Structures are given as C-alpha cells and as structure tokens.
Amino acid sequence: MAEQEYRIESDTIGEVKIPKEALWGPQTERSRNNFPSGELMPLAIIRAFLHLKKAAAESNVEVGDEPAEKGQAIEEAIDQLLALSDEDLRKDFPLHVLQTGSGTQTNMNVNEVVANLANKLHPGLNILPNDDVNRGQSSNDTYPTAMNIVAVEAVDKLEPAIDHLIDELKVKQDKYWKTVKVGRTHLQDATPLTFGQEVSGYISALKHDLAYIQELKPSLYELAIGGTAVGTGLNAAPGMTEAIAGKLSEVYGHEFKVDTNKFWGLAHHSALSVMHGAFKTLANDMFKIAQDIRFLASGPRAGYGELNIPANEPGSSIMPGKVNPTQAEAVTMAVARVLGNDVTINFAASQGNFEMNVFKTVMIAAFLESADILAGTITGFADKMIHGLTVNEQRMDDLLENSLMTVTALSPKIGYHEAAVIAQTAQREGTTLKEAALKSGKVTEEQYDKWMDYMAMTNIDRTKPEK
C-alpha cells in the first residue's frame, strides 16, 4: 500500500498497516491477511453480532457497568451499521469463515468497527473495542450466541417453505385421490394404489419433518452469553446477561434463555447438531420425493411417462423440444450438500476439547448453507414443478392393465400358488393376465371381471387424505 492509502495502528503484538478509510482495526487486518481462503463470514452472523453488542451496551448501562454516554454512542453506531444494505455492510466485515475456530477475529472485527464508528460520531469519548464494545463478553460466549440466533432465523425461513410444499402437494393429492395407478416395490410392479394415496405419503413425511424441526427449535433458544472465557462468567456484571436475553428476545420474537449451563454452551453445540439432523431427515425425504417425481415423469415416451412436468426452460442445447426435471435435480443436488454439511457439523461438534469447541465458524456456515438451500430448492420445487404437475391418466391406465401384480386380488379366491402360476404364465408367454387366468381354467371371465376391481384393490374407502 502506498503511504497515503493506509494508516498505522497498534495492538498487543505491534504495528499494523490498515487501509485508510476502513473502519476495522489491527486484529481484523491481521486476520484479513492471515486467513484469505474460503467463503466470507455470513452477514447474518454480523447482524446478529451487532444486535448482541447493542443489547450488551444497553444492559451494561442499565446495571451500572458502562457510562451512559459510551453505551449510547455504541448503540448509535450499531444502529447506523444495521441500517446498511448487505453490500455496504460487507465493506467493513471482510473476514472469512476459515479463521480461528472460536470466531475471535469476527468478534473483534465487530468490536473494532463499532468502536471506530462510535468515535467518529462522538469524538473524545475514546470508546475502545475490548474495554467498551466487548465489555463483560468474550468471543467464546458471543460467537456461540450469534450462532444460535442465526440458526433460529434460518429455521424461521425454512419452516414456511416446507408448509408451502405441503400445500401444493395437497392440491395434487385431492385432485388425483381416485386416479388409480400401478404401485411399485423394489422397483418392480406391485398392487395398485391411487396417485393421491402416493402423494399423501409425501405429505405425511414432510409434516413429520416439520414437526421434528419445530420440536427441536426451542433448544436453539439457549444462549451461551454470560459464560465469557471458560463458562464461569468472569468479568460479566450481575444482571447483564439476563438483560441481554430480554432485549434479544424482543428483537427476534423468540424467548431466548440464558439460565443454562455455560460450560456446555461454550464447549458443546448439540442443539445445532440435532437440528441439522432434522435437516438431514428432511433432505432424505425430499430426495425420495424428487426422485419419485423425476422417474414417474421420465420419457415422455420411452420412460414411465405417468406424470407431465412443466417446461420451465429448454432442456437441451442440441435436442429440440426436450423437457428436463430440473427442479427435481436441483433438490437432489441440494440434498447432497446437506448430507455433506451434516458430516462437517457432526465432526465439528465432536471437537469440544476441554472448555471450548474451536470449530464454531465452519459449523454455523455449514448449518446456514443447509437451511438456505433447502428453503430455496423446496420453494422452487413447489412453485416450478408440483404446482404445474399433471397426470397422464391414459398412460397410468395402460400400465395398470398390463401389470401382472393385480393377480394378488385372485390369491384369496384361488390360492397363492395358482395365482402365481397365472402371473408366471402371462409373463412367460407375453399375454395379458386375463388371458392367462382364463387359460388356466381356475377363473371364469365373469369371476375375473368381478374380482379384478382396481379401485377396490386400493382400499380407497379405508384411507384418508392428509389434511
């Protein structure tokens, strides 16, 4: 950097050259140069930190541990930062996820930016990053607190996406409740069911997934703030922590709690682990649903061809008129990332050595990516595929008429063995099931037509659509 392009500041290690107009300080600059790889720290984390620092400043003033004028200056600076667009906010928060695993450098990035801006707004107050903005706090309790806050925000965005897909599937369930088709097990023909019944299974899976997420969500409300360095709460003023929780609860609309074990809060991140486990379960179910739709829509003439999917974009650069199941493919790729993130989070959560886990930054980055891509691809799947999905009833009828497994309806009448012989004969000789049944002499045409009631085989009257 040319001399006019930087200023010199000092920290406990020595002097550091910092870009002249940057609001950050020496620790941020060191981190910026020491850890240049990978994705940038999510801005959701930065905004959570800003809300946390504002709540801390207010609380420290209220309990008498911070002069009112300094607390107010910190609050004013934070309000200005929170009002910035993401693009403008990013300019002073340049650090990467792959830094110290405690998130210390991001905590100090926030402390430095807030302090420098507060000093610009209020010259002479001499607001310090560590002594004032970070008062009564440590990176070791602020970063996991921010982790849980953004995790809750991410879940808040995922839940409506699941609900929306459920609603779109219910439309198809109800419309095709009595549309009979071939069932399949082991990728082989099985007894009939309706497409509506099949879809009801998808809906039930997603309703269960949503229930798991909602049941686990309160575990994320337990905040580590107040534990400071190792969980003992050293340097945190009495009453500060409780005040912070109340203020954060007002900001985010959730009942955050601080009456928790801080030794657990700093060294373990089990709430994130179990919640991401629910994400993984959702991802697994989404993979199955997307793959089912993808295969049932295969063709349109050389595959199953039972479903017609919307043509959202040209499917091929060389084959005119091709339509691909792109939304389903996006879902399945998102699932692959989620399953990979689950491995990262599980490993990271195991690394709570002694009083602190030092994989915090990568853990929350993986968590946020999973929540984001699940919410996005689920919404796209609902709007761009399920909404416009229709059934090819003629194809379903043709496949059903040609199926051998409807012979199961004959089994109670003529016995399992004789029914199996009829099915095997039809397959071997390339005839219809009816032809083989009549040829066997075990069934009359009148009996066959009476017993071979596809709708009755579905037990449609014994099943109910999902509500």
Q: List the chain pLDDT tens, one digit each, 467 residues.
A: 556 799 999 999 999 999 999 999 999 999 999 999 999 999 999 999 999 999 999 999 999 999 999 999 999 999 999 999 999 999 999 999 999 999 999 999 999 999 999 999 999 999 999 999 999 999 999 999 999 999 999 999 999 999 999 999 999 999 999 999 999 999 999 999 999 999 999 999 999 999 999 999 999 999 999 999 999 999 999 999 999 999 999 999 999 999 999 999 999 999 999 999 999 999 999 999 999 999 999 999 999 999 999 999 999 999 999 999 999 999 999 999 999 999 999 999 999 999 999 999 999 999 999 999 999 999 999 999 999 999 999 999 999 999 999 999 999 999 999 999 999 999 999 999 999 999 999 999 999 999 999 999 999 999 999 99
Alpha-helical segments (H) within 227-296: 240-252, 262-267, 270-296
The closest of 56, 103, 48 to 81, measured between CA atoms, is 48
- Separation of alpha carbons 455 and 77, rounded Å: 68
Q: What is the pLDDT of residues 276-309, one digit of tens each?
A: 999 999 999 999 999 999 999 999 999 999 999 9
DSSP three-state, residue 224: coil
Q: Which residues are paired to 17 by β-bridges?
A: 8
C-alpha dihedral (427, 433, 437, 439), degrees to nearest 10 = -60
Find, among 129, 2, 1, 125, the residue nearest to 53 by Cα: 129
Is the torsion defined by CA of 430, 431, 432, 434 positive or negative? negative
Q: What pLDDT is attached to residue 429?
A: 97
Question: What is the rounded CA–CA span in Å between residue 83 and residue 75?
Answer: 12
Residues 351, 269 contacting (CB under 8 angstroms): no
What does the pLDDT read at residue 3?
A: 60
| Distance from C-alpha of 132 to C-alpha of 135, rounded to nearest angstrom | 5
The DSSP symbol for 462 reads G
* H helices present in 63-194, as ranges: 68-82, 86-90, 104-121, 139-175
d(CA 214, CA 225): 23
Q: What is the pLDDT of residue 442?
A: 96
| Residue 24, amino acid | W
CA–CA gap between residue 2 and residue 154 (Å, rounded) = 42
Which tokens go with 313? 């974009």
Please tell me the predicted confidence (pLDDT) of residue 2: 57
| CB atoms closer than 10 angstroms to residue 169 | 22
The whole-angstrom separation of Cα 387 and Cα 4 is: 59
Report residue 124: phi and psi, to 5°. 100, -15
Q: Which residues are catalytic?
A: 186, 316
Read off the tokens for 421.
Answer: 């012989």
Task: Locate the DSSP E strands across 158-243.
Answer: 180-185, 188-194
Of the candidates 83, 132, 138, 77, the residue with the CA atom closest to the CA atom of residue 107: 138
Q: Which pair of structure tokens corresponds to residue 134? A: 């970070």
Give me the residues paired with residue 185 across strands: 188
Sort strands 188-194 and 15-19 into parallel, antiparallel or unpaired.
unpaired
Q: Over the Cα atoms of the chain, what is R_g?
A: 30
- pLDDT tens-digit series, residues 152-173: 999 999 999 999 999 999 999 9
* Alpha carbon of residue 174 to chain centroid: 28
Task: Give residue 248's Cα distance to chain centre.
Answer: 23
Residue with tokens 């599980």: 346
Please work out, in degrees rounded to the nearest 5, the angle formed at the alpha carbon of residue 49 by the alpha carbons of 154 and 37.
80
User: Cβ distance 362 to 344 under 8 Å?
Assistant: yes
Predicted pLDDT of residue 343: 98
Which domains does the chain possess?
3-135 (1.10.275.10), 141-394 (1.20.200.10), 404-462 (1.10.40.30)
Q: How far is CA 185 from CA 181, 182, 189, 191, 291, in A?
A: 13, 10, 7, 9, 14
Q: Under a CB-based contact definition with an 8 Å cutoff, are residues 133 and 169 in contact? A: no
pLDDT for 1: 52
> What's the CA gap between 439 and 437, in Å, rounded?
5
What is the tens place of the pLDDT at every residue in 324-355?
Answer: 999 999 999 999 999 999 999 999 999 999 99
